Structure 1
């Protein structure tokens, strides 16, 4: 197994983010975040090896954030030992995404610091707080899953058809019902639809007796 080299001591990559609607907000701007990180760097004797930012980008997801991707590449390639943000929500507004980043930091041996909450994976207190955040993220996952299940159950109880909506033209549906009412078998109806190259509700090319039965059974 290749040895992971140590990053230079007391080095950090600073990450800044602001969404479009936050750019003019007091305390949320890039300059305010930078000032907070510079003050902490001076206090702790850090060398900031790079400043990375995403301007006008939402924090709802980690995807599509070029600045964050570059910051992570720097700490994971051992050019710096710490990724620092002024506020946790600059890194992510999702507890689930943040918990995933903490796991990534531990696995790849870089430190993660959020100044506003005192999260610092290199200290016992920061590690404890990080574990609390991870537990909150797990709770969030379970709540989302529970709400999704309850929502689907409520829709099903109300008679809402779940899954992909049926897109079968009314004239095709009418043809199937008319032929069935005339005594044609399911197989005969399917064969006739296939002979006429009529696509199924989902755009398929092949009708089966079961497919015809499903149309007759639908509302």
Structure 2
């Protein structure tokens, strides 16, 4: 069988060891040799998240093009999550791209082979389990973030309009947490100005995001990143996050050295 290998590594994984671009093609070559496949080529995506749809990745588009051109009989990956992490995306890929052209999918780590009914069933179970696990992680992350913000603590970067003070520690994902948040006397008034320009929270917006950005520029208020002009996405983050920060107390007169916030929220 003619095999097309596909490898992917995200920006974060490039700094790690488990899924390097050097390891994946070696494993694919060994797999093809073991099962007698002729390896046509290995298509790669470097610095691409699995959350990006396959057809929106440079390598993913190339893989799809070559499959539709009939250049391969089987797609070989080191792990299923190199191709996708969304169960529906994975099943759609097998149904719409592979089954339609009679191409198989083989995963080295999970020992999945869609040439068999059992292989397709196992793929469905594995993809569903992977998505379930990812959703649980997101729920725990959101709960942790909400709990810390309710207690006036930093989770990740410091929100615009605030300063972080006190001791620091990191969670399992390496995010800085634990510092106390206080209103920054220099930038908190800008946050409140944005809310005043936007209008009552429970009513229609009095000004558009673009209009608010223009007004901030007119008043000479610099953007969170230090630039002269605000982006409407930055304005939107301030508006959407303000409700969860209104309980933050003013900064004490006597305090430790503070880290001024650079987050655009």
1:168 partnered with 2:237 = no
User: Unpaired runs of 5+ in structure 2?
Assistant: 140-200, 208-265
Contact preservation (8 Å) 2:11, 2:48: yes
Using the size of structure 2 for normalisation, the TM-score is 0.47
SS class of match (2:115): coil
SS class of match (1:30): coil
User: C-alpha deviations, 1:122-179, integer Å up to 9, x for none?
Assistant: 1243122124346x28x96xx99xx9xxxxxxxxxxxx85xxx72236xxxxxxxxxx
| Greater Rg by CA | 1
Aligned to 2:156: none
Q: Going by fraction, where is helix more abundant, 1 or 2? A: 1
User: C-alpha deviations, 1:84-131, integer Å up to 9, x for none?
Assistant: 111111111222211211212212321111111111111243122124
* 1:13 aligns with one of 4, 14, 31: 4
Task: Count matched residues.
Answer: 139
- Counterparts of 1:26 and 1:131, CA distance in 2: 28
* 1:123 aligns with one of 116, 120, 123: 116
Using the size of structure 1 for normalisation, the TM-score is 0.57
- Counterparts of 1:85 and 1:120, CA distance in 2: 11
1:85 partnered with 2:80 = no
SS class of match (2:56): coil
Aligned to 2:68: 76
User: C-alpha deviations, 1:45-80, integer Å up to 9, x for none?
Assistant: 111112110001111121520101111221222111
- Counterparts of 1:36 and 1:123, CA distance in 2: 22
Q: Going by fraction, where is strand more abundant, 1 or 2? A: 2
Contact preservation (8 Å) 2:87, 2:124: no
* 1:59 aligns with one of 27, 50, 55: 50
Contact preservation (8 Å) 1:61, 1:94: no
1:112 partnered with 2:105 = yes
Equivalences for residues 149-168 of structure 1 within 5 A: 166-168=204-206
Aligned to 1:35: 26
Runs of 4+, deviation exceeding 3 Å:
none
- Counterparts of 1:37 and 1:109, CA distance in 2: 20
